[in-house]
């Protein structure tokens, strides 16, 4: 999800923009020609100074704007680009951060901070080998820098681990974690002290009673027994294996249908949606459009609630994959750590297997396409192409599957490189052509925080819905959901809502120490 919050949900910490950064970078033989005039005009340096102050106050968007003004006046300063790259890192615009850092290096190959920035952006994007190359540069040039050494060592360890995992993957036959655990479920003891919800004795199935008891149990900050948690994951694998990549959804005439966006582990706000709009049922269908986990520290509660509802109402409760239903994002942004804290390492493997099977998009009455991210880098992608995607994998770096889960709309026509460094940004003309070519009224997507919880763009053809209010306890945004009524008129109706109190567990409480490598 695109945000303007600091990594780790804190204001900028550690290295700050200081007056020493106004010093001209040391020129190298390969960068002198690019540097142009040896010093920027005073007006540009003033913008840079103001930007540094805004950055140190945590006002990253303002800092980006001021650095951009400095660059408009003088585009030969490696410092300006490297500083703006740092601000983009803080707002998680990793694609822009990567571009600015690379430009800074092109201007001055001796400017060490630019290598830091580029390595950090590549780390955030999971491009560990590229990050290692830059961390190696920094470590080699500053052998006494303990921070540089620590980041180089940690990144090198990750690259070696990835190489090892790739090597052994060819040597051992892959065993399904869900299939493996299913063989030992009956031997898991349910302690006499356990006072929580239980699956039905006949077939260990989810019932309405189980769901209502589960919600009450979670309100008391208690944990579902591991036997039932594993059973839900095993059953979800079986259910999702039979679902299509693009799920067709029919909304009967006069029936209300609700679309929710990201909930990001904000369990008590999820409960509030059900308070406002009613619990899901066969007559009150819902679609949750990805990013169920990460960031918020009640992701386990969110996912088992949503999975239980899917098992209870497989034909009227729908779940789509988001970009955070992936191995790397879960490792960094908290879900993996939360699962390990509340259950065990083994369960992480089951979630990976189940997440890989989540549908990528839903088609409502043949007229509304709903996906987490957005549209494609090419105009020739059709609904039939989406149906043919083999989704049973972690999210790739490029291609239609990646774009469905990562792309963002933009106001300008055409396409542009993504601010995130993955997929693309698409303009109103792209949306118009896609809808016309595929017979659609409009598309619905999520993936971005919006002040009112929703946004209507591209002349009504592209709608964003985001359902995590006061995202990460810092953003101050409202959440929203969309309701449609089956029939000829599928016009969206929006309901915005505020956040509700939750127990005093901070967002990102379970996030990985790997975040320090790119923060």
Helix (H, G, I), strand (E, B) or coil at 464: strand
| Residues near 126 by beta carbon (within 8 Å), at least 6 away in sequence | 328
Joined tokens for residue 238: 């079986």
Confirm whether 78 is domain-assigned. Answer: yes
Closest CA to 51 of 41, 63, 40, 60: 63
Of 169, 199, 232, the domain-final residue: 169
Joined tokens for residue 301: 């509660």
Helix 78-90, helix 42-56: angle, nearest 10: 20
Would you write out the chain's pLDDT as a tens digit for each of its 519 residues?
A: 544 444 443 333 334 554 333 333 333 334 443 445 578 999 999 999 999 999 999 999 999 999 999 999 999 999 999 999 999 999 999 999 999 999 999 999 999 999 999 999 998 898 889 999 999 999 999 998 888 888 888 889 888 988 887 776 655 557 899 999 999 998 999 999 999 999 998 888 999 999 999 999 999 999 999 999 999 999 999 999 999 999 999 999 999 999 999 999 999 999 999 999 999 999 999 999 999 999 999 999 999 999 999 999 999 999 999 999 999 999 999 999 999 999 999 999 999 999 999 999 999 999 999 999 999 999 999 999 999 999 999 999 999 999 999 999 999 999 999 999 999 999 999 999 999 999 999 999 999 999 999 999 999 999 999 999 999 999 999 999 999 999 999 999 999 999 999 999 999 999 987 776 666
* 0.75 surpassed by pTM: yes
Task: Verify that 214 and 155 share a domain, yes or no.
Answer: no
| Residues near 513 by beta carbon (within 8 Å), at least 6 away in sequence | none
Q: Quote the CA–CA distance of 295 and 263 in Å, as a whole number.
A: 10
Task: Verify that 297 and 151 share a domain, yes or no.
Answer: no
What is the reported pLDDT for 32?
A: 40
Q: What does the DSSP assignment read for 244-312?
A: -SEEEE---TT-EEEEE-B-TT-HHHHHHHHHHH---BTTB-EEE-S--SSSSTTHHHHHHHHHHHHHH
CATH number of domain containing 128? 1.25.40.10
Confirm whether 256 is domain-assigned. Answer: yes
Confirm whether 1 is domain-assigned. Answer: no
Task: Verify that 130 and 268 share a domain, yes or no.
Answer: no
Q: Quote the CA–CA distance of 309 and 354 in Å, as a whole number.
A: 15
Residues 48, 83: contact at Cβ < 8 Å?
yes
Task: Verify that 109 and 143 share a domain, yes or no.
Answer: yes
What is the reported pLDDT for 170?
A: 57
Task: Verify that 216 and 364 share a domain, yes or no.
Answer: yes
Task: Verify that 146 and 186 share a domain, yes or no.
Answer: no
Q: Which domain holds residue 98?
A: 42-169
Closest CA to 431 of 449, 410, 448: 410
What is the reported pLDDT for 5?
A: 46
Of 136, 169, 202, the domain-final residue: 169
Helix (H, G, I), strand (E, B) or coil at 425: strand
Confirm whether 474 is domain-assigned. Answer: yes
User: Sign of the CA dihedral 9, 11, 15, 17?
Assistant: positive
Task: Verify that 305 and 421 share a domain, yes or no.
Answer: yes
Helix (H, G, I), strand (E, B) or coil at 129: helix
CATH number of domain containing 438? 3.60.21.10
Task: Verify that 114 and 262 share a domain, yes or no.
Answer: no
Residues 486, 253: contact at Cβ < 8 Å?
yes
Whether 372 is a known active-site residue: answer no
Active-site hit among 324, 372, 447, 458 = 324
Confirm whether 21 is domain-assigned. Answer: no
Closest CA to 515 of 190, 151, 64: 151
Task: Verify that 252 and 273 share a domain, yes or no.
Answer: yes
- Token look-up 């923060």 returns 519
Confirm whether 439 is domain-assigned. Answer: yes
How many structural domains compose the chain?
A: 2
Task: Verify that 375 and 456 share a domain, yes or no.
Answer: yes
Confirm whether 192 is domain-assigned. Answer: yes
Task: Verify that 272 and 388 share a domain, yes or no.
Answer: yes
| Residues near 418 by beta carbon (within 8 Å), at least 6 away in sequence | 95, 406, 407, 408, 424, 425
């Amino acid at each position: 999800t695109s945000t303007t919050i600091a990594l780790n949900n804190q204001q900028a910490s550690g290295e700050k923009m200081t007056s020493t950064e106004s010093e001209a970078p040391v020129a190298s033989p390969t960068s002198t020609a690019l540097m142009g005039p040896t010093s920027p005009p005073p007006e540009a340096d003033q913008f840079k100074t103001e930007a540094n102050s805004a950055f140190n106050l945590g006002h990253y968007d303002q800092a980006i704007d001021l650095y951009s003004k400095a660059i408009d006046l003088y585009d030969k300063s490696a410092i300006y680009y490297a500083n703006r790259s740092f601000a983009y890192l803080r707002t998680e615009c990793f694609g822009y951060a990567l571009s600015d850092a690379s430009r800074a290096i092109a201007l001055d190959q001796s400017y060490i901070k630019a290598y830091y920035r580029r390595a950090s952006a590549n780390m955030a994007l999971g491009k560990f080998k590229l990050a290692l190359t830059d961390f190696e540069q920094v470590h080699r040039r500053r052998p006494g820098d303990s921070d540089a050494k620590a980041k180089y060592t940690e990144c090198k360890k990750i690259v070696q681990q990835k190489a090892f995992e790739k090597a052994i993957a060819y040597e051992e036959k892959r065993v399904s974690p869900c299939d493996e655990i299913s063989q030992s479920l009956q031997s898991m003891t349910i302690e006499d002290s356990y006072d929580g919800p239980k699956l039905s004795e006949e077939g260990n199935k989810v019932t309405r009673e189980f769901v209502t008891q589960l919600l009450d149990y979670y309100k008391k900050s208690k944990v579902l027994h591991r036997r039932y948690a594993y059973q839900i994951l095993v059953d979800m694998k079986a259910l999702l294996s039979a679902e299509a990549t693009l799920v067709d959804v029919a909304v009967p005439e006069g029936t209300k249908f609700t679309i929710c966006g990201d909930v990001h582990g904000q369990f008590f706000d999820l409960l509030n949606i059900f308070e406002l709009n009613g619990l899901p049922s066969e007559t009150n269908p819902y679609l949750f459009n990805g990013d169920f986990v990460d960031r918020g520290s009640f992701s386990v509660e969110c996912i088992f609630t949503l999975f239980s509802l899917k098992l209870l109402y497989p034909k009227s409760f729908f779940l789509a994959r988001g970009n955070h239903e992936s191995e790397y994002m879960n490792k960094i942004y908290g879900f993996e750590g939360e699962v390990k804290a509340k259950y065990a390492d083994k369960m992480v493997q089951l979630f990976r297997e189940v997440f890989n099977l989540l549908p990528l998009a839903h088609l409502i009455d043949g007229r509304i396409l709903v996906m987490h991210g957005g549209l494609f880098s090419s105009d020739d992608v059709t609904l039939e192409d989406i149906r043919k995607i083999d989704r049973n994998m972690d999210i790739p770096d490029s291609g239609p599957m990646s774009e469905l889960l990562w792309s963002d709309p933009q106001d300008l026509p055409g396409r542009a490189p993504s601010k995130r460094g993955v997929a693309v940004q698409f303009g109103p003309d792209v949306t118009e052509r896609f809808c016309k070519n595929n017979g659609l009224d409009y598309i619905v997507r999520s993936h971005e925080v919006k002040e009112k919880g929703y946004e209507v763009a591209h002349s009504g053809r592209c709608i964003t819905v985001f359902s995590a209010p006061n995202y990460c306890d810092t953003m101050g945004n409202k959440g929203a959901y969309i309701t449609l009524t089956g029939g000829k008129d599928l016009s969206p109706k929006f309901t915005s809502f505020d956040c509700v109190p939750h127990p005093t567990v901070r967002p990102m409480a379970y996030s990985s120490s790997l975040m320090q490598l790119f923060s």
